[in-house]
């Protein structure tokens, strides 16, 4: 008891915002603080154990280990770190699978955990029988084989891809109680490598009136969408590699259009055709879907960039804090308009805010990891994070977003997420008090993937 | 020789010394090896199935709501339900009762879709999802006509084809705000 009070007093010096939020440099500080931290970090069983023989002399030190493998797999003890799929009953290839962001650290999504959104399944494409056609308002229509494209000068870019429909359970009247990743994990971040689109468009030669590109995938949906030529020439590219290896089938093998920072549906997988035009094609996925109905009855269309967003991944829904102690609040922030310039965290429901440490390197249109030490005093509270990007845009509170956009936009939900910590340390998702929308029969918006 | 010029010359010498042709290093930014091969207009016509609101891309063929109804009942009803009212596995396509400003707006073809040509395009390329690409162009016109009829946009006997479909005006054509265009003017 006495010792705890002493620790609390030492930590008090480092408080930067209400309810125990500590200086983001605390973990980096040298000297006496280290002792303080050691005393209040959650203790695990190991240090105390002396009688349990397995810990000191484990069996795996007495037998030869497994042989080499040609392709490594995660530990069998990590089998809960998986995507969470939700699919159509009749057409199982129509649906989504969420990345388990709440079970991950760092900023790069392993290829097997990158989120998926398919409209009609993953095609099994033999790259030898796959071609890219570029045609339309060009000086010469050209076809490229995958082998040809592999010989082109390439560039790499680490960037996130986020489905326009990510986090759409946020529009629901009741807060989703899914784990953070299974609510917000239609977003992932990879290093993509491929051929700048500008190089290929220079080879076909754009004609004067070219304004849009219509991109088409080789899946059973033949997914088609329009992209402004300005973006195509700026930083779009045709990816052949994801995190160093050829793109996985579910992420577009053998060729995926990458449109950095713009909503996922534009990053066409299994790319087979680019038609240069003077106007959008007005495909199903840019008219009937991926448009956002507003309270006025009008719908927002061609809302391409992903606005800044952040999410505390730990602690987050379903996690349990093991008593009053020092914890690290961590999460991800990203913006489709550039770099994240700041992430602020509140541990008192938005009364006061402290700046989190941003993990370097902070990259354009990429996941940015943030961290902040927090001393939880054991009392119920609400944690929030808000991202600010280099354009000065500030991630909105849900009340603000819903007031502006209504609840039927389905896409582009980027509001601040609140994690409530109760006195037992159990974390759940709550809306702000002033937005407790009373309802008994609400339609769950996120169930509507089609 | 100016300082700048000297720097540039030194750079070129370094590039040559390490085996990089300075011209290539420069062209690396914007030029590829030109490996694309030519394609005939017939091949493109067969490959290009994009249909635009003005009718560009619509093929020959025709169909009416009457013939479309028969097809709908055998190919579409299992997901999209009777009269296009939707099921748990397929979106509602017709029969909107609640308008777009209501508490639970119904976004159907009739209440929401801005262009009739989009219907033809998506049915031909994606539907039915259990057997995409299995409908003939006549059948796609017929289904398009039937769905327009279900939404009270055309009458039962009206035949849809490449010239008539683009002329169909959808009730919600003016219901969209082009955000990209607005942002473009601000840039």
Nearest CB neighbour to B36, from listed A198, A203, A214: A203
pLDDT tens profile A209-255: 999 999 999 999 999 999 999 999 999 999 999 999 999 999 999 99
Q: Is residue A137 in some structural domain?
A: yes
Is the pLDDT at A97 greater than 60? The verdict is: yes
Q: Is residue A204 in some structural domain?
A: yes
Nearest CB neighbour to B175, from listed A228, A299, A408: A299
Domain of residue A262, CATH code? 3.90.420.10
Q: What's the pLDDT score for residue B21?
A: 45
Contact A293, A448 (CB under 8 A): no
Chain A CB within 8 Å of residue B104 CB: yes
Q: Is residue B7 in some structural domain?
A: no
Q: Is residue B43 in some structural domain?
A: no
Q: Is residue B24 in some structural domain?
A: no
Chain A CB within 8 Å of residue B178 CB: yes
Q: Which residues of B touch A301 (CB under 8 A)?
A: 176-179
- As a whole number of angstroms, the distance between CA A405 and CA A292 comes to 8
By C-alpha distance, the chain A residue nearest B50 is A281
What is the pLDDT of chain A when averaged over all its residues? 92
Are the beta carbons of B38 and A283 separated by less than 8 Å? no
Is the pLDDT at A321 greater than 70? The verdict is: yes
Greatest Cα pair distance in chain A: 81
Torsion of CA A352, A357, A359, A360, to 10 degrees: 120
Q: What's the pLDDT score for residue A228?
A: 97
* pLDDT-based confidence at residue A445 (cuts at 50, 70, 90): low
Domain of residue B71, CATH code? 1.10.760.10
Q: Is residue B27 in some structural domain?
A: no
* pLDDT-based confidence at residue A438 (cuts at 50, 70, 90): low
* pLDDT-based confidence at residue A52 (cuts at 50, 70, 90): low
Q: Is residue B21 in some structural domain?
A: no
Across A103-107, B5-9, B24-28, B95-99, least confident range:
B24-28
Q: What's the pLDDT score for residue A44?
A: 46
Q: Which residues of B touch A204 (CB under 8 A)?
A: 36
Chain A CB within 8 Å of residue B50 CB: yes
State mean pLDDT over B138-153: 98
Q: Is residue A313 in some structural domain?
A: no
- As a whole number of angstroms, the distance between CA A187 and CA A164 comes to 9
Across A28-37, A52-61, A349-358, B72-81, least confident range:
A28-37
Q: Which residues of B touch A228 (CB under 8 A)?
A: 180
SS (H, E, C) chain A: CHHHHHHHHHHHCCEEECCCEECCCHHHCCCHHHHHHHHHCCCCHHHHCCCCHHHHCCHHHCCCCCCCCCCCCCCHHHCCCCCEEEECCCCCCCEEEECCHHHCCCCCCCHHHCCEEECCCCCCCCHHHCEEEEEECECCCEEEEHHHHCCCCCEEEEEEEECCCCCHHHHCCCCCCCCCHHHHCCEEEEEEEEEEHHHHHHHHCECCCCCEEEEEECCCCCCEEEEEHHHHHHCCEEEEEECCEECCHHHCCCCEEECCCECHHHCCCCEEEEEEECCCCCCHHHHCCCCEECCCCCEEECCCECCCEEEEEECCCCCECCCCEEEEEEEEEECCCCCEEEEEEECCCCCCCEECEECCCCCCCCCEEEEEEEEECCCCEEEEEEEEECCCCECCCHHHHHHHHCCCCCCCCCCCCEEEECCCCEEEEECCHHHCCCCCCCCCHHHCCC
Number of independent structural domains in chain A: 1
The larger pLDDT score, comparing residue A446 to residue B181, is at B181
Q: Is residue B117 in some structural domain?
A: yes
Q: What's the pLDDT score for residue B186?
A: 79
Q: Is residue B17 in some structural domain?
A: no
Size of interface A-B (CB pairs under 8 A): 159
Phi and psi torsions of B96, nearest 5° = -65, 125
Nearest CB neighbour to B30, from listed A141, A199, A291: A199
Are the beta carbons of A279 and B51 separated by less than 8 Å? no
Is the pLDDT at B91 greater than 70? The verdict is: yes
Is the pLDDT at A85 greater than 50? The verdict is: yes
Is the pLDDT at B184 greater than 90? The verdict is: no
Q: Is residue A436 in some structural domain?
A: no
Q: Is residue B133 in some structural domain?
A: yes
Q: What's the pLDDT score for residue B26?
A: 39
Q: What's the pLDDT score for residue A40?
A: 42
Nearest CB neighbour to A302, from listed B36, B100, B178: B178
Q: What's the pLDDT score for residue A53?
A: 73
Residues sharing a CB contact under 8 Å with residue A434, sequence separation 6 or more, in sequence order: A399
Are the beta carbons of A199 and B32 separated by less than 8 Å? yes
- As a whole number of angstroms, the distance between CA B121 and CA B112 comes to 16
Number of independent structural domains in chain B: 1
Q: What's the pLDDT score for residue A373?
A: 98
Q: Which B residues, 113 through 132, put their C-beta within 8 Å of a C-beta on chain A? A: 113-115, 117-118, 121-122, 125-126, 129-130, 132
**Interface predicted TM-score (ipTM) of this complex, two decimals:** 0.89
Please give, rounded to a whole number of angstroms, the shortest distance from the CA of B38 to a CA of chain A. 5
Burial string for A404-418 (b: 16+ CB within 10 Å, else e) reads ebbbbbbbbbbbbbb
Q: What's the pLDDT score for residue B6?
A: 52
State mean pLDDT over A184-196: 98
Q: Is residue A359 in some structural domain?
A: no
Is the pLDDT at B38 greater than 60? The verdict is: yes
State mean pLDDT over B51-58: 98
Domain extent for A173: 111-295
pLDDT tens profile A322-377: 999 999 999 999 999 999 999 999 999 999 999 999 999 999 999 999 999 999 99
Chain A CB within 8 Å of residue B44 CB: yes
The Cα-based distances of B185 to A121, A212, A260, B178, B182 in angstroms read 38, 17, 21, 11, 5
Work out the number of other CB atoms within 10 angstroms of the CB of residue B20: 13
Domain extent for B136: 49-179
pLDDT tens profile B167-179: 999 999 999 999 9
Nearest CB neighbour to B125, from listed A151, A195, A222: A222
Nearest CB neighbour to B31, from listed A135, A199, A408: A199
State mean pLDDT over A92-106: 97
Q: What percent of chain A has pLDDT over 70?
A: 89
Chain A CB within 8 Å of residue B5 CB: no
pLDDT tens profile A23-45: 998 876 544 444 444 444 444 44
Structure tokens at B62: 């025709």
* pLDDT-based confidence at residue B187 (cuts at 50, 70, 90): confident
- As a whole number of angstroms, the distance between CA A341 and CA A335 comes to 10
Q: What's the pLDDT score for residue B22?
A: 42
């Amino acid at each position: 008891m006495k010792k705890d009070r002493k620790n609390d007093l030492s930590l008090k010096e480092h408080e930067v915002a209400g309810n125990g939020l500590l200086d983001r440099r605390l973990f980096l500080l040298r000297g006496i603080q280290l002792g303080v931290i050691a005393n209040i970090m959650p203790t695990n069983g190991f240090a105390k154990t002396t009688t349990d023989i397995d810990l000191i002399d484990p069996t795996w030190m007495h037998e030869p280990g497994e042989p080499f493998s040609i392709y490594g797999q995660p530990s069998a003890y990590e089998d809960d770190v998986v995507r969470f799929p939700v699919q159509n009953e009749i057409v199982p290839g129509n649906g989504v699978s969420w990345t388990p962001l709440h079970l991950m650290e760092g900023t790069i999504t392993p290829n097997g955990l990158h989120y998926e959104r398919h409209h009609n399944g993953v095609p099994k494409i033999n790259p030898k029988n796959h071609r890219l056609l570029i045609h339309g308002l060009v000086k010469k229509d050209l076809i490229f084989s995958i082998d040809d494209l592999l010989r082109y000068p390439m560039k790499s870019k680490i960037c996130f891809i986020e489905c326009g429909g990510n986090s759409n359970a946020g529009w629901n009247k009741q807060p989703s109680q899914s784990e953070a990743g299974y609510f917000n994990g239609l977003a992932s971040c990879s290093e993509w490598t491929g051929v700048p689109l500008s190089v290929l468009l220079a080879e076909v030669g754009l004609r004067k009136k070219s304004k849009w590109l219509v991109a088409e995938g080789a899946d059973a949906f033949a997914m088609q969408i329009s992209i402004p030529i300005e973006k195509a020439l700026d930083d779009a590219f045709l990816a052949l590699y994801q995190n160093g290896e050829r793109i996985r089938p579910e992420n577009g093998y053998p060729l995926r259009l990458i449109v950095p920072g713009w909503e996922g549906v534009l990053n066409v997988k299994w790319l087979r055709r680019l038609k240069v035009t003077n106007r959008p094609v007005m495909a199903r996925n840019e008219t009937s879907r991926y448009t956002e109905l507003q309270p006025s009855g009008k719908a927002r269309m061609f809302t391409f960039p992903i606005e800044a967003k952040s999410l505390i991944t730990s602690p987050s829904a379903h996690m349990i804090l093991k008593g009053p102690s020092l914890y690290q609040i961590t999460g991800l922030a990203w913006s489709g308009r550039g770099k994240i310039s700041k992430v602020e965290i509140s541990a008192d429901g938005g009364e006061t805010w402290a700046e989190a440490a941003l993990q370097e390197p902070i990259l354009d249109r990429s996941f940015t990891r943030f961290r902040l030490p927090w001393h939880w005093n054991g009392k119920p509270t609400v944690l929030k994070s808000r991202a600010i990007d280099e354009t000065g845009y500030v991630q909105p509170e849900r009340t603000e977003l819903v007031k502006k956009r209504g609840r039927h936009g389905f896409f582009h939900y980027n509001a601040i997420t609140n994690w409530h910590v109760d006195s037992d340390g159990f974390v759940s998702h709550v809306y702000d008090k002033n937005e407790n929308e009373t309802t008994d029969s609400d339609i769950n918006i996120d169930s509507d993937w089609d | 020789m100016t300082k700048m010029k000297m720097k540039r010359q030194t750079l070129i010498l370094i590039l040559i010394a390490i085996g990089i042709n300075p011209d290539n290093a420069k062209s690396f930014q914007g030029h590829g090896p030109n490996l694309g091969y030519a394609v005939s207009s017939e091949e493109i016509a067969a490959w290009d199935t994009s249909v635009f609101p003005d009718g560009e891309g619509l093929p020959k063929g025709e169909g009416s709501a009457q013939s479309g109804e028969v097809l709908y009942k055998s190919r579409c009803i299992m997901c999209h339900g009777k009269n296009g009212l939707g099921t748990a596995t397929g979106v509602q396509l017709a029969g909107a009762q609640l308008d777009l400003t209501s508490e639970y707006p119904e976004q159907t073809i009739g209440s929401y879709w801005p262009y009739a040509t989009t219907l033809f395009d998506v049915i031909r390329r994606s539907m039915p999802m259990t057997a995409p690409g299995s409908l003939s162009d006549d059948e796609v016109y017929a289904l398009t006509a039937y769905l327009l009829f279900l939404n009270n946009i055309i009458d039962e006997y009206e035949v849809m084809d490449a010239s008539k479909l683009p002329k169909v005006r959808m009730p919600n054509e003016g219901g969209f705000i082009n955000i990209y265009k607005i942002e473009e003017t601000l840039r």
